[in-house]
Amino acid sequence: MEDFNRYISSIWERQWLSNNGPLVNELETKLQEYLRIKHLLFVSNGTIALQMAIKALDIHGEVITTAFSYVATTSSIAWEGCIPIFVDIDPETFNIDPAKIEAAITPKTKAILATHTFGNPCDIDAIQAIADQHKLKVIYDAAHCFGTTYKNKSVFAYGDISTASFHATKLFHTIEGGAVFTKDPYLLKTLACMRNFGHNGLETFDKRPGINGKNCEFHAAMGLCNLEHIEEILERRRTLSYHYYKRLKNFKVSFPKLNDNMDYNFAYFPVLFETEELLLQCMKRLEGSKIYCRRYFYPALSALPYVLKTKLPICEDVSKRMLCLPLYHTLKTSDLDLICRILWRVQNYQEPVVIKKRKVNIDLGNHQHIPINGHSFP
């Protein structure tokens, strides 16, 4: 708070609140240095970033995408007048399955918009090979990817354009915000004009219409504060995630298969339950203890009312059984242990015990230890 207030005081002194101010420029420069990215623009949010990407690449027609993502991935395609075409996901990584992309390509296909789900990179090489063969543009919704690298480069370095969200729910955030990344300096210029109403000078405009995609000094200040602590944030999430893995070993869940050649940011802790019934029972018990999880991503986006109906058996099944457990910087390991104890209790005692034809629900609330597979867990 002290660091943030110093930035706020400097904004007050300058009275330069928005319109490409010095803190926005400082944040962009420091992000370029930290991420080792040549070009990026700080924008108002991750959804605007996607919409700008589609517009800047002049995409019209069909866009192949995933239904296992946040709604903004699909709504941005539809908002820009394009048609989302869903293909199913890989059952282990939960990312879009490149093997299914080719069959969905038609003469109307113009682009692939893939999400690096939970910050785990897609099969980037396979997607790019398909795009090159069919002359398609590639946009990556990399909303979850701050701090993830692939082949020793930021994931943001891939695709024609990558986008990020810096919303307050992300491990690096600017309260509200996002970014667009591209290797192409011409595209960068187009995006820069587009971000600022189409201005390419004080009294001149680009040939394409623009939008107000700018961000302000106050949000940049929060980003500068958080960037100072990003290594600590990433390390803490890694530590907590490993603790989860250890405590949930042999639990009836599976975890995403991580892409090879990458360094993961542990943006979330997603678990795929054996059944939806077990997931719902665990959620109910956790919420009874005021512990709140999120069903990322449920329902599958193929259920949206404004998209073509598509059968996606893997995606629809996964979306019903996927839950993200609490993961944040100040989460205590003692709280994490409590979460895991509750999960174990539900799994081992989800069925009522029958005694003399009378159902009894077991309450372990006062027990100190729970026997699991011959071991005693505190």
pLDDT digits 0-9 by tens, 261-314: 999 999 999 999 999 999 999 999 999 999 999 999 999 999 999 999 999 999
Output the pLDDT for position 372: 34
Q: Residue range 118-146: average pLDDT?
A: 98
Q: Examine the pLDDT at 356 and tell me if it is beyond 80.
A: no
Q: Examine the pLDDT at 352 and tell me if it is beyond 70.
A: no
Q: Residue range 140-167: average pLDDT?
A: 98
Q: Examine the pLDDT at 378 and tell me if it is beyond 50.
A: no
60 — pLDDT class (breaks 50, 70, 90) = very high
Output the pLDDT for position 11: 97
Helix segments in 135-183, DSSP class H: none
Q: Which of 339, 306, 295 is nearest to 70 (CA)?
A: 295
Which part of the chain has CATH 3.90.1150.10?
230-377
- pLDDT tens, residue by residue, 276-288: 999 999 999 999 9
Output the pLDDT for position 350: 61
Q: Examine the pLDDT at 371 and tell me if it is beyond 80.
A: no
Q: Examine the pLDDT at 158 and tell me if it is beyond 70.
A: yes
Calpha distance 224→180 (Å, rounded):
18
Q: Examine the pLDDT at 375 and tell me if it is beyond 50.
A: no
Q: Examine the pLDDT at 366 and tell me if it is beyond 70.
A: no
Output the pLDDT for position 227: 98
Percent of the chain with pLDDT over 70: 92
Q: Residue range 149-160: average pLDDT?
A: 97
Q: Which CATH architecture has domain 2-227?
A: 3-Layer(aba) Sandwich (3.40)
Q: Residue range 91-110: average pLDDT?
A: 97
Task: Please tell me the least confidently modeled range out of 24-38, 207-221, 228-242, 352-366.
Answer: 352-366
Up-side HSE of residue 197: CA atoms within 13 Å toward CB? 8
Domain 230-377 annotated CATH 3.50.50.60: no
Output the pLDDT for position 201: 85
Beta carbons of 213 and 198 less than 8 angstroms apart: no
Locate the DSSP E strands across 18-91. Answer: 40-43, 62-66, 83-87
Three-class secondary structure of residue 246 per DSSP: helix
Q: Examine the pLDDT at 323 and tell me if it is beyond 90.
A: yes
Look at strands 178-181 and 40-43 and give their pairing. Answer: antiparallel
28 — pLDDT class (breaks 50, 70, 90) = very high
Q: Residue range 329-353: average pLDDT?
A: 87
pTM: 0.90
Q: Residue range 161-187: average pLDDT?
A: 97
Which part of the chain has CATH 3.40.640.10?
2-227
Beta carbons of 34 and 224 less than 8 angstroms apart: no
At 15, list the tokens. Answer: 């009275």
CB neighbour class for 317 (10 Å; exposed up to 12, middle 13-18, buried from 19): middle
Q: pLDDT averaged over the chain? A: 92
Q: Examine the pLDDT at 207 and tell me if it is beyond 80.
A: yes
H/E segment holding residue 141 = strand 137-141
- pLDDT tens, residue by residue, 65-89: 999 999 999 999 999 999 999 999 9
Locate the DSSP E strands across 215-342. Answer: 253-254, 262-263, 269-273, 322-325
Q: Examine the pLDDT at 373 and tell me if it is beyond 60.
A: no
260 — pLDDT class (breaks 50, 70, 90) = confident
